Amino acid sequence: MSIPTAQAASKQNAGYHAAGLVEDGMVVGLGTGSTVFFAMERLGERIAKDGLSIAGVPTSYQAAIRARQYGIPLTSLDEHPGLDIAIDGADQVDPDLHLIKGRGAALLREKCVCDAADRVIIVVDPTKTVDILNAPVPVEVLPFASAGVFRRLAALGAAPVLRDGVKKDGPVVTDNGNFILDCDFGALADPRSLEADIAAIPGALECGLFTAYGEKITVIVGEEKDCRVVSL
């Protein structure tokens, strides 16, 4: 058996802790990324061993594929426009529980699921917590409008970069058929107003800033041996 690295152990602790917050009968938003995988793994175990009865709404093809592998029954926002809980990862978290998400290009569906959930559990390792958000902000863009959106984002002070595929030539195409512009704005003094400014650009379908959900977010910061639970 391979010994987990410290970061993998942190992700596992966070994911397992989050899975423990899910109760029988809940409809659960299933986020995208490596930390949520651990939550899904534990949910799959609880389904198989304890008869836990839940349904999941996946935020991406990746989440749907992994949920099926773990035996988590799937449903949709059409069937369940309101969710009991969502579990997702993040790329950065600040003390106001503002997030940057979207490394995995799933931010549009992730925000829909976050908005639909009564409670949102964000699972991260300690490298994700920062005093001030400063990572590039991913923006999902309608290809038809991408040149105009690029211009508007540059006018807001970003240096947008069209995200390229890995093992695919040309741009990343999201699960929704759109492009991603990664926008480096430097340190974000006012992430809430930046999110509003980006939302006002026609063709900018969604951005990876999540600043409106702090009250319903609980962040689980996995440590090597334990977890730290943070809420407002």
Q: Does 88 bind ligand 5RP (CB under 6 A)?
A: yes
Candidate residues 66, 91, 179, 209; the one interacting with ligand 5RP per rule CB under 6 A? 91
User: What is the dihedral sign for C-alpha 102, 52, 117, 96?
Assistant: negative
CB of 9 to ligand 5RP, least distance (A): 14
49 vs 166 by CB, closer to ligand 5RP: 166
**Residues whose CB is less than 8 angstroms from the CB of residue 131 and which lie 6 or more positions away in sequence, other chains included:** 94, 95
Count CA within 13 A, CB hemisphere, residue 29: 29
- List CB contacts of 64: < 8 A, sequence separation 6 or more: 30, 58, 74
- Determine how many CB atoms are found less than 10 A away from the CB of residue 151: 11
Q: Which of residues 105-164 bind ligand 5RP (CB under 6 A)?
A: 105-107, 110
Residue 110 annotated to the active site: yes
Q: Least distance in Å: CB of 168 to ligand 5RP?
A: 17
DSSP string, 151-195: HHHHHTT-EEEEPBPSSSSSB---TTS-EEEEEE--S-S-HHHHH
Nearer to ligand 5RP, 106 or 219 (CB): 106
Cα radius of gyration (the chain): 17
- Name which of residues 25 to 84 contact ligand 5RP (CB under 6 A): 31-35
Task: State in angstroms the smallest separation of the CB of 10 from ligand 5RP.
Answer: 11
Catalytic residue among 41, 45, 79, 110: 110
| Piece of the chain touching ligand 5RP by CB under 6 A; list 66-74, 100-108, 195-203, 214-222 | 100-108
Q: Which residues bind ligand 5RP (CB under 6 A)?
A: 31-35, 88-91, 101-107, 110
